[in-house]
């Protein structure tokens, strides 16, 4: 997943359960990685003809992503990859593409053009196949960690674990409560500087933050982050420094934190008001915050540059 992962579980089955959860995460990575030769996503992105067969997990992720894509009016767009790649975020060879290059690439980013071509009967393990236009590329980087997180939690629970803390590259999940019976304390980083901006007391929750304070490059005194606006083909530039989503599903939290960062604060708050099935913490570039009512706040610190 291109990021460190840690799982801390409590109870007598912990070591075995962690091993199983780790294997499941690696399995998912093998299916959805954009860079791993042979993954479903790699085969789709390099295909010369369609449809391309995919596994059940990839289908699940595709369906979920399509749902959030629609719900967020395209703010979450797993087909934005050709643009992300052109800016150098896959290789670290960063560059600012020309307007012409961006407009040409944007034509290849219509996620609604990715279609389920059929459900295959045999041979297992492929369960379905997807079609898209040549030149289109998918990337589940905005929600894959959330999916892997939920799968790891499912495996831990099945192995009898009732208390655990998972960290998948900053996507936090707390399973159950701490072994002393109290809630977990989860800190949200100050996106403008050092330390923690907020801390929450939570149990059985994902806490996922998106922002552009960790993965970005600078050119000509300007900062370009790794989350893109599918309408412009450019890194998101708005008043937000970070967006944190808290809910029971790691997948939903991961997908939404990215999408609401793209949407900006007004639309993010509107989305929260329309759904209210998650907790939301917005931290603005000027250091102010907007917290959804009911967010399980433990403490709030002032954030400064
Ligand atoms: P992180 O990987 O830092 O936890 P996110 O979950 O917010 O961050 O996902 C960001 C990644 O998703 C980017 O690195 C890029 O590959 C991809 N991406 C960028 N913009 C979008 C977008 N608008 N919709 C979907 N995926 C995106
Ligand atoms: Mg995300």
Q: What would the mean pLDDT of 183-198 be, rounded to a whole number?
A: 96
> If residue 52 lies in a helix (H) or strand (E), which one and from where to where?
strand 52-55
How much is the pLDDT for 2?
A: 80
Residue 304 has pLDDT above 80, yes or no: no
Closest ligand to the CA of 230: 1
Cα–ligand 1 centroid distance for 287 (angstroms): 23
Nearest residue (by CA) to ligand 1, atom 14, is 226
Q: How far apart are CA 40 and CA 43, in angstroms?
A: 5
Cα–ligand 1 centroid distance for 211 (angstroms): 9
Q: What would the mean pLDDT of 294-300 be, rounded to a whole number?
A: 91
Q: What would the mean pLDDT of 125-150 be, rounded to a whole number?
A: 96
Cα–ligand 2 centroid distance for 227 (angstroms): 9
How much is the pLDDT for 267?
A: 98
Cα–ligand 1 centroid distance for 56 (angstroms): 22
pLDDT band at residue 230, thresholds of 50, 70 and 90? very high
CB contact at 8 A, 213 and 258? no
Cα–ligand 1 centroid distance for 227 (angstroms): 5
**Which residues touch 283 (CB under 8 Å, ≥6 apart)?**
188, 190, 191, 192, 197, 198, 211, 240, 241, 242, 243, 244, 289, 303
CATH topology identical between 35-138 and 183-300: no
Lowest mean pLDDT among 143-147, 169-173, 296-300: 296-300
pLDDT band at residue 67, thresholds of 50, 70 and 90? very high
Nearest residue (by CA) to ligand 1, atom 6, is 142
Q: How far apart are CA 277 and CA 221, in angstroms?
A: 39
Q: Can you give the residue ranges of every domain in the chain?
A: 35-138, 183-300
Domain 183-300 is found in CATH 1.10.150.120: no
How much is the pLDDT for 56?
A: 95
Q: What would the mean pLDDT of 254-279 be, rounded to a whole number?
A: 98
How much is the pLDDT for 119?
A: 85
Residue 123 has pLDDT above 80, yes or no: no
Q: What would the mean pLDDT of 231-235 be, rounded to a whole number?
A: 98
Mean pLDDT over each residue of the chain, to the nearest integer:
96
Q: How far apart are CA 87 and CA 106, in angstroms?
A: 13
pLDDT band at residue 64, thresholds of 50, 70 and 90? very high
Tokens 């403490």 belong to residue: 299
Q: How far apart are CA 154 and CA 156, in angstroms?
A: 6
How much is the pLDDT for 305?
A: 61
CATH tag for 35-138 (out of 3.40.640.10, 2.160.10.10, 1.20.1250.20, 1.10.3980.10): 1.10.3980.10
Residue 135 has pLDDT above 80, yes or no: yes
Closest ligand to the CA of 140: 1
Cα–ligand 1 centroid distance for 281 (angstroms): 18
To the nearest whole percent, how much of the chain has pLDDT over 90? 92
Which atom of ligand 1 lies at the shortest distance from residue 171's CA? 4
Which of 110, 143, 227 for mutating ligand 1's site (highest number of atoms within 8 Å of CB)?
227
Nearest residue (by CA) to ligand 1, atom 5, is 142
Q: How far apart are CA 258 and CA 75, in angstroms?
A: 8
Which of 92, 112, 142, 145 for mutating ligand 1's site (highest number of atoms within 8 Å of CB)?
142
pLDDT band at residue 302, thresholds of 50, 70 and 90? confident
How much is the pLDDT for 299?
A: 86
Residue 175 has pLDDT above 80, yes or no: yes
CB contact at 8 A, 171 and 149? yes
Q: Which residues line ligand 1 (CB under 6 A)?
A: 76-78, 80, 84, 89, 139, 141-142, 169-170, 210, 215, 226-228, 230, 254, 258, 262
Cα–ligand 1 centroid distance for 141 (angstroms): 5
């Amino acid at each position: 997943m291109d990021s460190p992962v840690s799982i801390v579980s409590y109870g007598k089955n912990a070591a075995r359960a962690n091993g199983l959860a780790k294997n499941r995460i690696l399995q998912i990575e093998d299916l959805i990685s954009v860079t791993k030769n042979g993954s479903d996503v790699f085969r789709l992105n390099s295909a010369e003809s369609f449809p391309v067969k995919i596994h059940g997990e990839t289908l699940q992720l595709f369906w979920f992503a399509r749902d959030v894509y629609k719900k967020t009016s395209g703010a979450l767009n797993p087909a934005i990859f050709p643009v992300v790649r052109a800016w150098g975020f896959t290789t670290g060879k960063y560059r600012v593409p020309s307007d012409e290059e961006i407009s040409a690439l944007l034509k290849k980013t219509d996620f609604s053009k990715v279609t389920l071509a059929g459900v295959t009967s045999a041979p297992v393990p492929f369960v379905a196949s997807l079609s898209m236009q040549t030149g289109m590329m998918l990337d589940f980087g905005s929600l894959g960690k959330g999916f892997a997180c939920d799968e790891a939690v499912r495996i831990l629970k099945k192995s009898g674990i009732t208390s655990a803390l998972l960290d998948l590259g900053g996507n936090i999940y707390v399973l159950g409560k701490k072994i002393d019976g109290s809630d977990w304390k989860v800190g949200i980083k100050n996106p403008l500087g050092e330390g923690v901006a907020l801390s929450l007391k939570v149990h059985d929750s994902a806490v996922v933050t998106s922002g552009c304070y960790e993965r970005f490059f600078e050119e000509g005194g300007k900062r370009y982050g790794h989350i893109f606006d599918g309408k412009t083909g450019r890194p998101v530039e708005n008043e937000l420094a970070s967006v944190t989503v808290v809910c029971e599903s790691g997948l939903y939290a991961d997908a939404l934190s990215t999408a609401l960062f793209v949407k900006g604060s007004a639309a993010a708050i509107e989305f929260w008001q329309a759904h209210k099935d998650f907790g939301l913490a917005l931290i603005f570039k000027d250091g102010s915050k907007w917290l959804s009512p009911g967010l399980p706040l433990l403490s709030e610190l002032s954030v400064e540059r």
